[in-house]
């Protein structure tokens, strides 16, 4: 059983304690963001007693909260600066009875599933509510009054078109949002299709969250890089042989076979799989019409992925680049061990930086580096041992 967080602490105090012990380096930029998180934390603590009162008192408290809700926080900055670490500290301390921390793509996949389920109820005559957004938002808020998103990013037009309406409903109910991102709000969904329809969400976001930048001069992910032979370049016969050798070693004499993951009337084809290990090519996952929900299903089914032949990614591969970004985000978020062969080192895969993908790929390259680190691989082994 997990110990209860110490609500008497603040993010600033925990950060000071870690730097005093030598666990972390002193970083004034991180300390500034910690103070912003403490503002939200203090507001949540002030609100907490109201949630313990009678049912009627809670009702009046909810109405008051809707009129003057707690302002959340949107932290943006370059990769490896400690955004996720600070948000995780905050989330552990947040005294909310109902809170949710999720990767943004995972959350939106859940939202789309709920919308589809509501539309099916409407079709079956089980509800007369034609608009799915109010009941979906109500259900989400009932489960979590605090939402924490790691790596907030918008690349999918389906997500872009519903965000304004979804969060209008959530914020009206008093939902508090804390998010990290590589890009500031004005650059979200940059050059996206029908971006004008997305822009009202940016204005809504700015009204309900404080925008802060984490501009630490140190990339901590690069500092702890300790390369392991799990990312091989270039794509040639020698690399293929090395990947095959690692795959054979991982099989331990077992025989891999094709399998499928059922997905709402269709299936994701897995060329080779055994237990919780699978092998795909870049083409299998990024040149087919797969999305965040598909990659989430793969990450939940397998904890070790072999990915062959990641090519150089030029402007003509924009769809493949988007899928690759979402794939790596999902695998990283689930602590998946990744073996990969590629045409170049992560930071050299993207031939030309343009549009949203240019911003997002910095994070992808950083995560590919970290997924090779001794710390990441050790954490993977610890999770497997605990299962």
Please identify, in words, the CATH class of the domain defined by 224-386. Answer: alpha beta
Q: Are 358 and 323 in contact (CB under 8 A)?
A: no
pLDDT, residue 59, reads: 44
pLDDT, residue 253, reads: 74
pLDDT, residue 387, reads: 60
Q: Which CATH architecture has domain 11-213?
A: 3-Layer(aba) Sandwich (3.40)
pLDDT, residue 268, reads: 94
Residue spans of the domains in the chain: they are 11-213, 224-386
What order of strands is seen across the sheet that includes strand 257-263?
Answer: 231-232, 337-342, 304-310, 277-281, 266-274, 257-263
pLDDT, residue 69, reads: 80
Classify 328 in phi/psi space as left (phi over 0), alpha (psi -120 to 50) or beta: alpha
pLDDT, residue 146, reads: 97
Q: Are 185 and 219 in contact (CB under 8 A)?
A: no
Gap between the Cα atoms of 237 and 222, Å rounded: 29
- Within this chain, domains 11-213 and 224-386 share the same CATH topology: yes
272 SS3 class = strand
Distance of CA 122 to the CA centre of its chain: 31
Gap between the Cα atoms of 97 and 364, Å rounded: 33
- Residue 196 tokens read as 């004008």
302 SS3 class = coil
Handedness of CA 366, 327, 147, 171 (dihedral sign): positive
pLDDT, residue 224, reads: 47
Tell me how far CA of residue 236 lies from CA of 213, 232, 239, 240, 320, in angstroms: 42, 10, 5, 6, 21
Show pLDDT as tens, one digit a residue, over the chain (387 residues). 334 445 557 999 998 988 888 877 888 899 999 999 999 999 999 886 544 444 444 344 444 433 358 999 999 987 778 888 899 899 999 999 899 998 888 899 999 999 999 999 999 999 898 999 999 999 999 999 999 998 898 888 889 999 999 999 999 999 999 999 988 999 898 878 888 889 999 999 999 999 999 977 665 654 543 434 688 999 999 899 989 988 988 887 778 999 999 987 889 999 999 989 999 999 999 999 999 999 999 999 999 999 999 999 998 999 999 999 999 999 999 999 999 999 999 999 999 877 667 778 988 999 999 888 877 877 776 766 566
Gap between the Cα atoms of 214 and 180, Å rounded: 10
pLDDT, residue 252, reads: 74
- Residue 79 tokens read as 């990769």
Task: Select from 255, 233, 253 the least CA-distant residue to 242.
Answer: 233
Query: Nearest 5 degrees, angle CA 226-CA 148-CA 89?
Result: 55
- The pTM score is 0.62
């Amino acid at each position: 059983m997990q110990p209860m967080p110490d609500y008497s602490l603040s993010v600033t105090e925990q950060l000071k304690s870690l730097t005093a012990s030598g666990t972390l380096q002193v970083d004034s930029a991180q300390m500034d963001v910690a103070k912003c998180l403490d503002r939200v934390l203090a507001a949540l603590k002030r609100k907490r007693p109201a949630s313990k009162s009678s049912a009627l008192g809670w009702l009046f408290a909810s109405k008051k909260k809707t009129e003057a809700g707690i302002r959340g926080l949107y932290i943006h900055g370059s990769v490896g600066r400690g955004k996720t670490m600070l948000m995780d500290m905050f989330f552990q301390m947040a005294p909310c009875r109902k809170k949710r921390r999720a990767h943004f793509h995972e959350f939106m996949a859940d939202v789309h599933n709920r919308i589809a389920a509501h539309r099916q109820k409407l079709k079956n005559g089980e509800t007369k509510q034609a608009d799915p957004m109010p009941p979906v938002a109500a259900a989400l808020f009932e489960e979590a009054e605090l939402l924490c998103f790691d790596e907030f990013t918008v690349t999918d037009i389906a997500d872009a078109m519903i965000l304004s309406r979804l969060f209008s409903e959530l914020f009206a109910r008093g939902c508090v949002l804390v998010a990290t991102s590589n890009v500031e709000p004005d650059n979200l969904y940059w050059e996206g299709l029908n971006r004008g329809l997305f822009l009202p969400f940016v204005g809504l976001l700015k009204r309900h969250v404080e925008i802060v930048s984490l501009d630490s001069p140190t990339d901590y992910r690069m500092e702890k890089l300790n390369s392991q032979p799990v990312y091989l370049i270039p794509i040639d016969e020698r690399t293929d042989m090395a990947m095959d050798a690692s795959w054979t070693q991982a099989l331990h004499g077992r025989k891999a076979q094709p399998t499928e993951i059922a997905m709402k009337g269709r299936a994701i084809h897995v060329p080779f799989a055994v237990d919780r290990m699978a092998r795909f090519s870049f083409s299998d996952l990024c040149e087919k019409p797969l999305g965040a929900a598909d990659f989430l299903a793969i990450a939940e089914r397998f904890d070790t992925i072999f990915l062959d032949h990641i090519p150089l990614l030029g402007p003509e591969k924009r769809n493949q680049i988007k899928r690759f970004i979402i794939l790596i985000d999902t695998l990283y978020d689930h602590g998946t061990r990744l073996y990969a062969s590629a045409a170049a080192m992560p930071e050299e895969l993207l031939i030309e930086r343009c549009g949203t993908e240019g911003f997002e790929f910095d994070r992808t390259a950083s995560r590919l580096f970290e997924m090779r680190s001794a710390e990441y691989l050790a954490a993977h082994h610890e999770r497997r041992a605990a299962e």
